[in-house]
Amino acid sequence: METKSALTFSWKQFWETFIYENLPPVLFSPIAALLIEKSAMRAWHVCQNRGLCVVSAKSAPLSFILWSWLIVYPCSWIITLGFLKTVFFNSGPTFVDPYQVILAFMFLFMRRLIISIKYGYFTAEEVEDLARPAPEWTFDRMRRKLVGIGWSAPTNFDGLIESEIDALATGRSDLFERGQLILREVGGSVNPPGSTLSAEPNKNDDRYVDSKFNIKSLLHAIVCSTYSEKKPAAYDLWVALMALSIAVVPPLLHYLIYADSLRLSLDPIIHAARFLGCMSGIGIMGFGLVCAFDFGRRQKGSVLINNLVFGEGLALKPLEGSEYNLIISGDGLVKLDLDRPAHILAFMELRDSIVKFGEQFYKRIQGYTSVLLLCALCCVVLLNSIVWTSAPHHVTTIVMILLIIIAIGSISILAMIRAIQLQRERVNGIDLLRRYVISANKDGAEIEVPHTGIRNASDDVEMMSRLIDYATFHDLTHSPTSLLGTIADNKLVSSVLGALITGCLLALQGFVNLEIAYDVAGWSIP
């Protein structure tokens, strides 16, 4: 089975973006763009298209420009200045524990890291277009490339699903676009009044629909069915509550329990940096839930494909006046029988395509989930380092770290569970095909195929076996659904969850063994 070349990650694009994003916008990042692009015109377009210093109405609408200048740029500067002041210029006691400012800055750093991963998966052509004016790169195109906007609801963007399917067709078999598949109707009526499709009953009252359906049409129907699902509104509420709790609960406890500490000098920059940094976690944690959502959509698509072949079938309905002439709608159940080589290839192409659909987004969400997991694990390490080294800290810092672990850990574990379900469904498709081959060998040497007569069943067994070997290697070794460079399975969840819980218990043991105490202001006693 021939497929297009695998999408590659560009470290050059990653590090260039990492420099752009980690330098303060408006001033320093445009200077970096000028040095990297080596052209004032290219640097100008890079700044506009990447949002480093957006001022041109030709590149973005006025609302986005105002949002950038009133919210994004000031917040970025405040968080960065607060972090630098805390780390390098903290000359005396303050109300805010420096660890809390560092943790708040971590959210901004994670966002910048995720953006760098995003551009690392851009094609060379897309990166080149970023240095060009419209129509080479447009604001709409930018929105389409965003996981949290375009990919969370691709049906809201005309042609986005179709363009990703067209990208899949490159290098694949002729069957993908031009092949004709024979679908068997197993219930209801697949042909509504006025349909141009013909159906010819056989002796068993099953009907084979001789159609012009190809893999592309089948894939489009399955994708539209799964990707039309809206992201649950509870996701946004969950993220907002988590970020708000991290930003508000520690200082609120500080105010309520340690009122005497209010006599300490207060620094508005540091206070603002801490709060804004924590609230920037809304975007980071939102990425994590979109990742979980996308893993779930792909898993549901894999289930539909397996049902099309091995299950009860799909309710496919012809759709006239479209290049893609099928939708999942109506009562008629249709199956794709593995009674001919074309059907076997179609099944393998479908199960491979549903995973690789939107491959660039798929690779990115695996990377984003890995970043979240690393963040949660780093917080556990930080918690233990504070405890076991008896580092000076405020008691509310421990509360803040625990809240971050709970928030990011829960989101990461949800994404992992959805990734595991996807990987499990991929493997299930292989098992179903393997059982089909075993059954074909047991049933006898001949099978009756409507429209084509009698054929040896063993003619297809060898090809099926080769395809099973290919699918097994591809799904379990070459390109499995993976996180942190490890295949997504129950062992991964157990390992991550075990590390988080064990790390927290180890920190608790440190509190007990070292007998850590706090003064009347809530600061640890050396």
Cβ atoms of 273 and 104 within 8 Å: the answer is yes
Cα angle vertex 71, ends 85, 151, to 5°?
Answer: 115
Nearest in space to 434 (alpha carbons), one of 393, 475, 404, 494: 475
Classified as helix, coil or strand, 173 is: coil
- The number of residues in the chain equals 526
- Sorted by where each begins, the domain ranges of the chain are 11-514
For every one of its 526 residues, what pLDDT tens digit does the chain have, with 9 covering 90 and above? 434 446 789 999 999 999 999 999 999 999 999 999 999 999 999 999 999 999 998 889 999 999 999 999 999 999 999 999 888 876 555 567 889 999 999 999 999 999 999 999 999 999 999 999 888 889 999 999 998 898 999 988 988 998 888 888 776 766 677 767 777 777 544 433 333 333 333 434 445 554 557 788 888 889 988 998 888 888 889 999 999 999 999 988 888 887 665 555 567 888 899 999 999 989 888 888 998 999 999 999 999 988 888 888 888 777 665 666 677 776 678 888 777 777 788 888 888 888 888 888 988 988 888 888 889 999 999 999 999 998 988 899 999 999 999 999 899 889 889 988 988 888 888 888 888 777 766 655 444 444 444 445 555 667 777 777 777 777 777 678 877 777 878 888 888 889 999 999 999 999 989 888 888 878 888 7
pLDDT of residue 458: 55
Classified as helix, coil or strand, 358 is: coil
Q: How far apart are CA 193 and CA 185, in angstroms?
A: 16
pLDDT of residue 322: 62
Q: How far apart are CA 456 and CA 453, in angstroms?
A: 10
Classified as helix, coil or strand, 131 is: coil
Q: How far apart are CA 325 and CA 318, in angstroms?
A: 6
Q: Where are the alpha helices (DSSP H) in 53-97?
A: 62-67, 73-88
Cβ atoms of 357 and 383 within 8 Å: the answer is no
Classified as helix, coil or strand, 509 is: helix
pLDDT of residue 173: 67
Q: How far apart are CA 18 and CA 50, in angstroms?
A: 12
pLDDT of residue 7: 75
The amino acid present at 338, given as its one-letter code, is L
pLDDT of residue 449: 43
pLDDT of residue 334: 80
pLDDT of residue 266: 64
pLDDT of residue 76: 94
